[in-house]
Amino acid sequence: MTAPSNTLQVQPLSPALGAEITGADIRRDGDAEAVRAAFVEHQVVVVRDQVLTPDEQIAFACRFGPINVNRFFQAMADHPQIALVIKEPEQKKAIGERWHTDHSYDAVPAMGSLLYAVQTPPVGGDTVFASMAAAYEALSEGFRATLHGLRAWHSSRHVFGAARAADETGRDGRIGNPGAAKQDACHALVITHPLSGRRGLYVNPTFTLRIDGWNEDESDALLGFLYAHCARPEFCCRVRWAPGDLTMWDNRATWHKAINDYDGHRREMRRITVEGVPLD
């Protein structure tokens, strides 16, 4: 195995999560392993200045596990493992504008995603991430004890189902296959991360429906508090994109959302999602 490049540097993006990696070439074994180590430590890594073919992006993703072929996103021609995340200049709605955790509706949620920037606007189009471990650790000991043992239901139906057809991203074909939106899963509200061992919250405003065994008012009150708490800026980092950047995030440890502030400009990204393991 090759050693990491002598120029590879890892610089944290914020105290809570995230790191920027420069001087790397993820096609090299040593650099790829260094990126993997930074990913475990920082939950989100953005690797600058990569020149990747679709096959090279797929090969790097496979270092982390089997690829999850997305059910709903438009796929890249000849590479079904790659989902396209595109916003054309005339389109108004971006994909993923609300805080969410990819695939929390699956019984075995995806490990993470790798998003590669092909074309970006001259300014804007950033992605914001939030650390669910930092958010959990900032809660009082008594409140954390209250959360342990609770479980919450997640679903794909209300996001990717029939209602999507009326949404701009459904009408223009960026999101489709609503008949496949049949996933429901009940997960622990507090999980132990399978790689880092840190405890973190596992609910999100997009896919989480309710707390198991609670009535609607009770569930909405607690989830609303947690959502506001998790979005606090001290738990967040922000990734500013340029063509050739590859950002990886851990779905078991983070939220993310796209900032839609670049109307009139084109943004094209290639996303690969990697399978995960059962959570507890």
Domain CATH number, residue 243: 3.60.130.10
With cut-offs at 50, 70 and 90, classify the pLDDT of residue 1: low
- Give me the chain's average pLDDT, please: 95
- Count of the separate structural domains present in the chain: 1
Active-site residue identified among 102, 106, 245, 250:
102
Q: For residues 98 and 149, give the distance between their C-alpha atoms in angstroms, rounded to a whole number.
A: 27
Q: Is the pLDDT of residue 171 over 90?
A: no
**Per the residue annotation, which of 187, 256, 267, 270 is the catalytic one?**
256
User: Quick one: tokens of 206?
Assistant: 């997009």
* Annotation marks residue 48 as catalytic: no
The amino acid that residue 6 corresponds to is: N
Whole-structure pTM value: 0.95
Question: How high is the pLDDT of residue 280?
Answer: 80
Domain-located, residue 256: yes
pLDDT range class, residue 121, cuts 50, 70, 90: very high
Active site residue 42: no
Say what the pLDDT of residue 166 is: 76
Amino acid symbol at 163 = A
Residue 224 lies in a domain: yes
Q: Does residue 2 form part of some domain?
A: no
Q: How do strand 267-274 and strand 79-87 relate by DSSP bridges?
A: antiparallel
Contact 64, 36 (CB under 8 A): yes
Q: Does the CA dihedral 200-205-209-212 come out positive or negative?
A: positive
Instruction: Say what the pLDDT of residue 152 is.
Output: 98
What per-residue confidence (pLDDT) applies to 238? 97
Q: What is the pLDDT of residues 29-82, one digit of tens each?
A: 999 999 999 999 999 999 999 999 999 999 999 999 999 998 888 899 999 999
100 flagged as catalytic: yes
> What is the rounded average pLDDT of the residues 161-187?
86
Lowest mean pLDDT among 52-56, 111-115, 156-160, 207-211: 156-160
Residue of 100, 154, 193, 252 with catalytic role? 100
Give percent above pLDDT 90 in the chain: 86
**Residues 227, 232, 233, 239, Cα dihedral to 10°:** -10
Give the model's pLDDT for residue 178.
86
Burial 43-74 (b: 16+ CB within 10 A, else e): bbbbbbebebebeebbebbeebeebbebbbbb
279 within a domain of the structure (yes/no): no
Task: Identify the weakest region by mean pLDDT among 135-149, 174-188, 208-222.
Answer: 174-188
Whether residue 151 lies in the annotated active site? no
Q: Is residue 25 part of a domain?
A: yes
Lowest mean pLDDT among 14-28, 66-80, 134-148: 66-80
- Catalytic option among 42, 71, 210, 271: 271
Average pLDDT over residues 126-142: 98
Residue 142 neighbours by CB distance under 10 Å = 7
Q: Which domain holds residue 252?
A: 9-274
C-alpha–C-alpha distance, residues 144 and 236, integer Å: 20
